[in-house]
Structure 1
Amino acid sequence: MTKRNIVVVGTQWGDEGKGKIVDLLTDRVAAVVRFQGGHNAGHTLVIDGKTTVLHLIPSGILREEVECFIGNGVVLAPDALEKEMNQLEATGLKVQQRLKISDACPLILDYHVALDVARELARGNKAIGTTGRGIGPAYEDKVARRGLRAGDFKNMVQFKAKLAETLAYHNYMIEHYYKAEPVSFDLLWEKCERYSKLIVPMLADIPNLIAAYNAEGKNLMFEGAQGTLLDIDHGTYPYVTSSNTTAGGASGGAGIGPNQLDYILGITKAYATRVGSGPFPTELDYNCDTDIGDPIGKELGNRGHEFGATTGRQRRCGWFDAVALRRSAQINGLNGMCLTKLDVMDELTEIKICVSYTQNGEVIMLPPASADEYELCTPNYVTMPGWNTSTVGTDSFDALPIEAIEYIRFLEKEVGVPVSILSTGPDRSETLVITDPFV
């Protein structure tokens, strides 16, 4: 079999089920490389009924023969890493021996979290809807060239000096602008001394490891976090994350040439969800706290267990948005889609698909560039019949209800990308591979 490097990306606003698919396909790879984001991600894996939630460690960790790399595009929170490693190792997994971390990973430290929380509070009803985990401020430090990186732990004398300088800079803003409690240097330094002992043994030259595997003809998988519509450049700006969530981010965020990425798999939910603020044209607005809103939005949320794996926040639910997916297919260069959570719609009598927007009286087939322009858009729908029968665990495409097959074929036509994998349940086994990405 020819060597294949596969990139797995979310095509919507995240929460599409990327972790499950990475876990499924890692039986044929030597390593899984995470290339962007931080512990604001939440990848839920269900294997033989047992649930594991990962936030920072790549989804290949449950396969004992697979190595896991955290690339330079990931912002690394040492406390979150420590907690996640402890939880996994308590189940018998050997994490530390199989996990490698890029020296160039920016660190998320206490002052990043303090800034993130203070900013969201200050924005009030205009809050972005971040997870409050310091992701954005850590990326800002990286771009401003003042951030501390994982490799800095190798020289703690220099690290201490850099930490003092950077903390003084941020504490001034925290204390005097946001009127919040400054971060203690002594307490943070004590933590960093502990973090260094954990992280330094796992530091590695990730681009060189990738190159070595490529030279040996071994398969690799590159795992993204969040979704394309949250990309800092191509998403619903400013309601986006702070990194490049698209397939192109795999090259810079891991250290591999774009010509060495062989297949781009886009994970796509059979409907749409979004966590936090920002445009969502096909939303079926429902609030689980008040039990007020659209009954179909409620049904999708309840049947799909649409609560964030990282934050527990209710996800907003809506109809499939082919306009947004066309853009995702375009900028990712998708070779195939994995359609997840088809089974969540098993009891709907009719299903709608957004096929275009109307903006200022004009029908448009691709989404606008900014959140402000979305306010001028209304979705245009095609209605299809539901299938009113269970699709959970369906073991062949032809065994699906004809209405479900027609729905899938319609989505393929609208987006211009074939569905190569179909997920009809949360368990690893409840997945149908139609076209093998490794072939």
Structure 2
Amino acid sequence: MHTLVVDLGFGDAGKGATVSHLCAAADREVTAVVRFNGGPQAAHNVVTPDGRHHTFAQFGAATLQGVPTLLSRFMSVDPLALSAEAEHLRSLGVPDPYALLSVDRRARLTTPYHAAANRLRERARGADRHGSCGMGVGESAAYALAHPEDAPTAGDCASRPRLLRRLTLLRDRLTDELGPLGAPPVEACADAYAAFARTVTLTDEAVTRRLTRQGPLVFEGAQGVLLDEWHGFHPYTTWSTTTFANAETLLAEAGAPDGALRLGVVRTYTTRHGPGPLVTEDPGLGPLLPEAHNGHGRWQGAFRTGHFDAVAHRYAVEVCGGVDALAVTHLDAPGRCPELRLCRAYAMDGRLVERLPAGPPGDLARQAGLTRRLSEARPARWDTPGRDPRQWTDAVSRLLGAPVLMESSGPARQRLRTAAHTGRPVPDRIGSTPC
């Protein structure tokens, strides 16, 4: 059965390690990992038991295990960044990473021109920066909305005349709007993109149907639900749908709309990169919970740490339409940091708030108002499960209303387990091993 993986926070909860382990532990060989949102700004860290580490951006997080990747039409593809990622995978023992990669021709290209425009806009915001990754993914989405007939796609890389026309038009439009971009010549980009088209397998809309018939798929999301373009805390969001929606669309188009397991990933504490609401933020936690693979980003800003925010994560579950099961990561943290707590309610708008109501997608004025209210909210009701990881998984399961299917205590120490002690059955959809 297929599995859909999303992050129920602001990102960095452990989606990459979760996807990697699901592909290793499934009772049937996984056919492919399907990337269904985001682009080169993703940073999914995987550490193998033998100590190899890779930060997956565009390749699926099970590439080190030889599992193929499909970049769906909902992805933004940066061929230059992809080349650098492929080189690192080769250094880790993957002989031909591109042989494991298929790309939907309709996927948007993210180019140096998008990245340059992204950084110019972010600099212009000054103290009001949104926390962009500075890689141009949002800019490529905005350009495609404004100029749908001219936005370059992965399929254009196979047609040099069309690609040159679209890249030139893109560069000129952005230069007219923002001034000199300081990006490479169009011809140089076109040469690199042509090499990309010769190297990867470019696919059509029928590929997902073929893959679903071959065996189980794992759909790997990017960023986190609390950064969703419609349901996140605007304007500190991503230009991407981070819920299950895109994955479910792909399955419906493939004639397999039912039966996938919806898996939500959370840490035992809540983190985010850059500006925006983080109600449970506690500056004292950062030194106690150092990050091996996350830190201050030039464009994103600081990596921030807070206590487990059940109010925000419940909101994420609601805007996702619910989850079948949870993966709880960083279960070693409570033992290393006994100060960790769970926030069950906020003091907000002069009252106790346990639930943030979900609004209709597209109402960004409403989401901006919610962001302003959250900036004034404070934690008001706490739980303290203590150091025992089992107490934490029980508490998270109760608070989010779903069984814990996977638990992990570090980047390379994961195991699937049943959740019988929660009193909630785990859907019999992927292989599991007992505690």
Q: Normalized against structure 2, the TM-score is what?
A: 0.86
Match of 1:112 in 2: 114
Q: Greater CA deviation, 306-315 or 377-386?
A: 306-315
Q: CA deviation at 1:350?
A: 4.1
Q: Tell me which amino acid in the other structure corresponds to 2:402.
A: V
Q: CA deviation at 1:313?
A: 5.7
Check whether the contact 1:7–1:261 (CA below 8 A) recurs between aligned residues.
no
CA distance in 2, matches of 1:437, 1:46: 25
Q: 1:311 to 1:83 in 2, by over 3 A?
A: farther
Correspondence 1:83 to 2:75? no
Alignment of 1:36-435 (within 5 A): 36-47=37-48, 48-64=50-66, 66-93=67-94, 94-144=96-146, 145=148, 146-175=150-179, 181-183=180-182, 187-205=185-203, 207-216=205-214, 218-252=215-249, 256=254, 259-260=257-258, 262-285=260-283, 294=284, 296-300=285-289, 302=290, 306-307=294-295, 314-332=302-320, 333-367=322-356, 369=367, 370-384=370-384, 386-387=386-387, 403-427=388-412, 429-434=413-418
Match of 1:438 in 2: 430
Unaligned runs of 5+ in 1: 176-180, 286-293, 388-402
Alignment of 1:1-16 (within 5 A): 4-16=1-13
CA distance in 2, matches of 1:125, 1:367: 27
CA distance in 2, matches of 1:223, 1:206: 19
Q: CA deviation at 1:163?
A: 2.0
Q: 1:312 to 1:277 in 2, by over 3 A?
A: closer
Query: Per the alignment, in what secondary structure is the counterpart of residue 393 of structure 2?
Result: helix
Match of 1:395 in 2: none
Q: 1:128 to 1:311 in 2, by over 3 A?
A: closer
CA distance in 2, matches of 1:351, 1:201: 48
Check whether the contact 2:45–2:293 (CA below 8 A) recurs between aligned residues.
no
Q: 1:90 to 1:305 in 2, by over 3 A?
A: closer
Q: CA deviation at 1:193?
A: 1.6
Q: CA deviation at 1:409?
A: 1.3
Match of 2:36 in 1: 35
Query: Per the alignment, in what secondary structure is the counterpart of residue 79 of structure 1?
Result: helix
Q: CA RMSD in A?
A: 2.3
Q: 1:308 to 1:342 in 2, by over 3 A?
A: farther
CA distance in 2, matches of 1:129, 1:267: 22
Check whether the contact 2:282–2:306 (CA below 8 A) recurs between aligned residues.
yes
Unaligned runs of 5+ in 2: 358-366, 419-425
Check whether the contact 1:272–1:317 (CA below 8 A) recurs between aligned residues.
yes
CA distance in 2, matches of 1:308, 1:55: 18
Check whether the contact 1:160–1:189 (CA below 8 A) recurs between aligned residues.
yes
Query: Per the alignment, in what secondary structure is the counterpart of residue 168 of structure 1?
Result: helix
Match of 2:422 in 1: none
Check whether the contact 1:74–1:105 (CA below 8 A) recurs between aligned residues.
yes
Determine what percentage of the aligned residue pairs are the same residue. Answer: 28
Q: Tell me which amino acid in the other structure corresponds to 1:143.
A: L
Q: CA deviation at 1:416?
A: 0.8
Q: Greater CA deviation, 349-358 or 162-171?
A: 349-358
Q: 1:310 to 1:150 in 2, by over 3 A?
A: farther
Deviations 1:175-215 (A, max 9, x none): 1xxxxx33467x23222222212224424335422211323
Q: Greater CA deviation, 321-330 or 89-98?
A: 89-98
Match of 1:290 in 2: none
Deviations 1:112-132 (A, max 9, x none): 111111111110010001111
Check whether the contact 1:171–1:183 (CA below 8 A) recurs between aligned residues.
no
Query: Per the alignment, in what secondary structure is the counterpart of residue 174 of structure 2?
Result: helix
Q: CA deviation at 1:348?
A: 2.9
Check whether the contact 2:131–2:301 (CA below 8 A) recurs between aligned residues.
no
Q: CA deviation at 1:305?
A: 5.8
Check whether the contact 1:306–1:314 (CA below 8 A) recurs between aligned residues.
no
